[in-house]
Structure 1
Amino acid sequence: MALQRNIAVNYISQLYNGLIGIIVMPFYLKFLGAESYGLIAFFMLLQTWFYLLDVGLSQTLSRETVRFKNNVLSATHFFKLYHYISIIFFALALSLVLVLSLSNQWIATHWLKFSHLSLRDVLLCLQIMFICAGLRCMGGIYRGVIQGFEKIVWISIFNIVINTLRFVVVIPVLYVFDFQIQVYFYFQLGVALFEFAVLWFYHRVLIKQHDPMHLDMMPESANYFKQMLYFALLSGGNFILWLGISQSDKLLLSSLLPLADYAYYSIAILLASVIYMISTPMSNVLLPRMTALFSQNNLLQLEQIYTQFAQFISVVVCSIALTIFWNAHEVVLLWSNDVHTADQVAPVLKLYILGNVFLAINAFSYYIQYAHGDVKRHFYGNVCLLILMLPIIYWATTHYGALGAGVVWLSLHALWFFSWTIYVNRHFITHYWQWSFTIIQILVVSYIFSALLHWLYQGMNIYADSIWIDLLALALFGGLLFAVTAVSAPAIRQFLQQKLRG
């Protein structure tokens, strides 16, 4: 029940946090302008790149917190590891903030392309960006501890509060100050400081609650810290490589495109991120639970959970992605109420939303490696993918812009599923071929049925000028697709049969 509750709360939180960002973006675009929104999009990109500071430390600490909580790891080792990681993390964050602050002028004049914003405002906003990103990144280590203690409900509610402040409360503040872009960033700085303070306080409360009266007297093992350093370096290397894989196109286009055009590209990425809203809560709950099962040597239940939730996620992301894929222009038009925005965004959205389906499925191979504490294959795979991707993505973005980046994104992640993900599963689960064929079956069924629905919609000319009719049509499309795709998943069929018998 605890696992189901955590997943449910995570989904509510993630859906709210993702959708609230999507809902308010048309207001930013309308009242701040495309160029200012492009600066906000660059801020979001910068925060993602700031997670390079993590270098696997928060993931390592989260995993060891799970082991400490389950009495597998001694308090002596846990607290030493915690203090070492805290010191390293603070030094890295502070160093990068200082380096970027010194590069402020160069980024504003040589990297970003703007014509309506003043240089003074851009320099100020960049400086605030660096501080906000540093604070949020440093808070990541505290999130890792809280997640390791499986306080999923608390962190989900806290995320809702923070994102309400970041995306919603900022709007009336902007209204009062006549929608000035610098006001937006001053407000974000205040939210980042509040978020950091609360995370620091709560993670200290949790640690003290589990701090024994005296530390274990067992001798210190030098081998333990070598293993943790190895795991942290591999996890960090994986994360750095992953950022290169997932963000290299966005970084390139932030330099190649004017801020106004980059804004439309970022909107496509934002709408395609709805897939992350489905998959991210799964990882937040599954990683600590699967790690605990492996620590208890309960490999059978570990594989069952891994298989069941891989099928469930595949069904959900396929249903959502293909509904958006076949109706991309209508979705963007309903969201923005602007034909020009829909024309600019829809073609790129189609490519990225499908690519994100494979991305979400491929992530499961990392979950199983993380639970086993053996992520070297994920590291080697990411090295190969990055070597393959960088020259292709550079060529595609320089010649074809956002559309070229989207084609590469979809093609490489689909290729990776049919090669590396299957290879990795072979080393960690018993019925890896059955796992793969089931996912492929879900993909094929969902695509064929969605294509049929699209053909029927086209023939019936079902979309009208009414927003409510269009929303109903989209909901019907997604609902029918989900129902048919769900039946194709053995784990869901078995669950439904058990409920009917019960």
Structure 2
Amino acid sequence: MTNSVVLVLINLMALPFYLRFLGMEAYGLIGFYATLQTILQVLDLGLAPTVSREIAHNAELGQQRRSASLLRTLGRVYLGVAVAIAALVALASSWIATHWLHAQTLPDATVAQAIALMGINLACRWPISLYHNALVGSHRLALSSAVSMTVNINAAITSVLVLAYGVRSIQVFFIVQACFGLLHAGVLRVVARRIVGERDAPADMSELRRVWGFSAWMGGIALTALCLTQIDKIVLSKVVPLGSFGQYMLAALVVSGVQVLAGPAFNTMYPKFSALLARGDMPSLRHLYASATRLYATALLALVFGLVFHAGALVMLWLDSAAIAATVAPIIAGLAIGSGLNSLMYFPYALQLASGQPRLAFTIGIALLALTLPLTVLLAIRFGALGGAIAWASVNVAYVLLGTWLTGRHVQDFAGWAWLRRDVAIPLLATLLPALLGAWICRTLAAGPWVAVGIGGIAAVAGMALGVAASFERREFRQLIAMALGRPAASP
């Protein structure tokens, strides 16, 4: 989780400098790069999460050499895909600059050059997910996080210094980022191969064929997840001016703080669920699923409600612009609600994959996609950037209801409706009540931004304390923390 906190803080601290040195339209290009990066993840075909699952399983069965052979094989596959990505984006750069994005101050040639550099940047970073997931499967998430923090801190500092004292152009920004992306991938490759061991294991395409069935379903899931999470950005990049799209991406950056909890929770629980299922230890799985959800939901929802009720004050303190704060605050609230609901479903999703049922996750994604596309287009046309946020929140309400029902019916009964009533409802009420009280106090006192943020912080802490007190006995809470730190999971 420390890695996620640091990465979010880096982006939040660097953004005012990027706006100052590059402008809102150039930041819109940075936002488009983030969208493009997510879109191209579909080319992973589900191989990265498959590696995590395979390494966790093989470690339990004492088959580390098989893991090493799979990692070496996929390393070659990822290298070929990286080259293809750079070529594909370079070929499409002129068309995207002139026919898709709506730049009003940046020349088309500058936009096209920036997009071509995006392709190089993406290629340099492409293998990172493979080696990161190898370390996740080896229960070395902390090591991968340390590498990520070190590289990304230096990348942000270097980018700001180059823009401040060198050439202030979006092209230079992407060149610097590409160099650090290549460094990140190289370091993770060395570390992952050393941890997995058996570095003399040969590349073997039979290993790829062996995991292809699971990976193919994971690729389908990645495609549907891509559409679900990026439709708002794709539609808005076409419908609204580049400056307005930059504001939407600014709001998305603020809400990315939700991933401080969501990403690490999934990376921690997924291999643990896989290991417990491999051992057939169902009592420990049931206990871990329920207790970890309560702790996770308490922290997650406290953060979400803080963003919903105090987004304007946060942006005002951050960027010192009342106009930007007024514009992006409603967008942040909608995105925060949607992202909070989506993040709650990381636990059912991890259980589906650990149980070897990726088809269920794919089916849920297809059903949601049928709702997402028309809803996003209609609301974006009607309300602009705010419409994208409303669509994201609405779709994730449906996701919680549908996903929970199907997980309880087809995977494990303890993950169904009872999970929402028992393990989600209590943290929801415990964090919502202090948040509502804090918002009422701010409105009554007409509090300034500093006071509002302070009250919001106190409300969030109070909500977390209330949620933990209502959900756990002291012994159970200590046991859960021990599990999160990597100690053996025990039955209640």
The TM-score with structure 2 as length reference comes to 0.90
Instruction: Say whether the 8 Å CA contact 1:396–1:404 is kept in structure 2.
Output: yes
Deviations 1:253-290 (A, max 9, x none): 11222221111110111111111111111112222222
Q: 2:437 aligns with which of 411, 433, 452?
A: 452
Report 1:459-498 matches (<5 A): 459-461=444-446, 463-464=447-448, 467=450, 469-490=451-472, 494-495=476-477
Report 1:241-320 matches (<5 A): 241-320=224-303
Structure 2 residue runs of 5 or longer lacking an equivalent are 482-492
For residues 390 and 348 of structure 2, the distance between their equivalents in structure 1, rounded to whole angstroms, comes to 23
Instruction: Say whether the 8 Å CA contact 2:125–2:178 is kept in structure 1.
Output: no
Q: 1:443 to 1:470 in 2, by over 3 A?
A: closer
User: Aligned residue for 1:8?
Assistant: none
Aligned partner of 1:319: which letter? A
Q: 1:26 to 1:132 in 2, by over 3 A?
A: same
Report 1:3-402 matches (<5 A): 11-73=1-63, 75=65, 77-207=66-196, 209-210=197-198, 228-402=211-385
Deviation at 1:79, TM superposition (A): 4.8
SS at match of 2:280: coil
Deviation at 1:97, TM superposition (A): 2.6
Deviations 1:453-500 (A, max 9, x none): 322332233x237x4x4443332222222223333334779427999x
Instruction: Say whether the 8 Å CA contact 1:56–1:233 is kept in structure 2.
Output: yes
Range with bigger deviation, 441-450 or 189-198: 441-450
For residues 398 and 437 of structure 1, the distance between their equivalents in structure 2, rounded to whole angstroms, comes to 37
Q: 1:450 to 1:472 in 2, by over 3 A?
A: closer
Q: 1:98 to 1:327 in 2, by over 3 A?
A: same
Aligned partner of 1:450: which letter? A
Q: 1:270 to 1:74 in 2, by over 3 A?
A: closer
For residues 175 and 377 of structure 1, the distance between their equivalents in structure 2, rounded to whole angstroms, comes to 50
User: Aligned residue for 1:4?
Assistant: none
Instruction: Say whether the 8 Å CA contact 2:74–2:208 is kept in structure 1.
Output: no
Q: 1:171 to 1:402 in 2, by over 3 A?
A: same
Instruction: Say whether the 8 Å CA contact 1:50–1:134 is kept in structure 2.
Output: no
The TM-score with structure 1 as length reference comes to 0.89
Q: 1:238 to 1:458 in 2, by over 3 A?
A: same
User: Aligned residue for 2:419?
Assistant: 435
Deviation at 1:72, TM superposition (A): 4.8
Instruction: Say whether the 8 Å CA contact 1:321–1:353 is kept in structure 2.
Output: yes
Aligned partner of 1:379: which letter? F
For residues 100 and 298 of structure 2, the distance between their equivalents in structure 1, rounded to whole angstroms, comes to 41
Aligned partner of 1:300: which letter? P
Instruction: Say whether the 8 Å CA contact 2:68–2:198 is kept in structure 1.
Output: no
Deviation at 1:166, TM superposition (A): 2.7
Aligned partner of 1:318: which letter? L
For residues 458 and 42 of structure 2, the distance between their equivalents in structure 1, rounded to whole angstroms, comes to 41
For residues 478 and 133 of structure 1, the distance between their equivalents in structure 2, rounded to whole angstroms, comes to 37
Deviation at 1:427, TM superposition (A): 3.2
For residues 480 and 140 of structure 2, the distance between their equivalents in structure 1, rounded to whole angstroms, comes to 30
Aligned partner of 1:141: which letter? L
For residues 361 and 453 of structure 2, the distance between their equivalents in structure 1, rounded to whole angstroms, comes to 41
Instruction: Say whether the 8 Å CA contact 1:53–1:137 is kept in structure 2.
Output: no
For residues 28 and 112 of structure 2, the distance between their equivalents in structure 1, rounded to whole angstroms, comes to 15
Structure 1 residue runs of 5 or longer lacking an equivalent are 1-10
Instruction: Say whether the 8 Å CA contact 1:64–1:73 is kept in structure 2.
Output: no
Q: 1:498 to 1:113 in 2, by over 3 A?
A: closer
For residues 405 and 25 of structure 2, the distance between their equivalents in structure 1, rounded to whole angstroms, comes to 43
Aligned partner of 2:34: which letter? M
Matched, 1:424 2:414: no
SS at match of 1:103: helix
For residues 177 and 258 of structure 1, the distance between their equivalents in structure 2, rounded to whole angstroms, comes to 29
Q: 1:211 to 1:109 in 2, by over 3 A?
A: closer
Deviations 1:325-354 (A, max 9, x none): 112211111111111110111010010101
Range with bigger deviation, 400-409 or 435-444: 435-444
Deviation at 1:447, TM superposition (A): 2.6
For residues 228 and 442 of structure 1, the distance between their equivalents in structure 2, rounded to whole angstroms, comes to 38
Deviation at 1:122, TM superposition (A): 1.9
User: Aligned residue for 2:490?
Assistant: none
Instruction: Say whether the 8 Å CA contact 2:56–2:138 is kept in structure 1.
Output: yes
Instruction: Say whether the 8 Å CA contact 2:83–2:123 is kept in structure 1.
Output: yes
Identity across the alignment (%): 24
Deviations 1:353-409 (A, max 9, x none): 011111011121111112222211111111111112111112221222111111111
For residues 385 and 435 of structure 1, the distance between their equivalents in structure 2, rounded to whole angstroms, comes to 21
User: Aligned residue for 2:484?
Assistant: none
User: Aligned residue for 1:6?
Assistant: none
Give the aligned length: 478
Deviations 1:47-104 (A, max 9, x none): 11121111101111121112222335473x4455445433433333322332221111
Aligned partner of 2:286: which letter? E
Deviation at 1:245, TM superposition (A): 0.3
Instruction: Say whether the 8 Å CA contact 1:53–1:89 is kept in structure 2.
Output: no
For residues 29 and 211 of structure 1, the distance between their equivalents in structure 2, rounded to whole angstroms, comes to 45
Range with bigger deviation, 339-348 or 320-329: 320-329
For residues 6 and 112 of structure 2, the distance between their equivalents in structure 1, rounded to whole angstroms, comes to 32
Instruction: Say whether the 8 Å CA contact 1:66–1:291 is kept in structure 2.
Output: yes
Aligned partner of 1:453: which letter? G
Q: 1:427 to 1:490 in 2, by over 3 A?
A: farther
Deviation at 1:310, TM superposition (A): 1.2
Instruction: Say whether the 8 Å CA contact 1:112–1:255 is kept in structure 2.
Output: yes
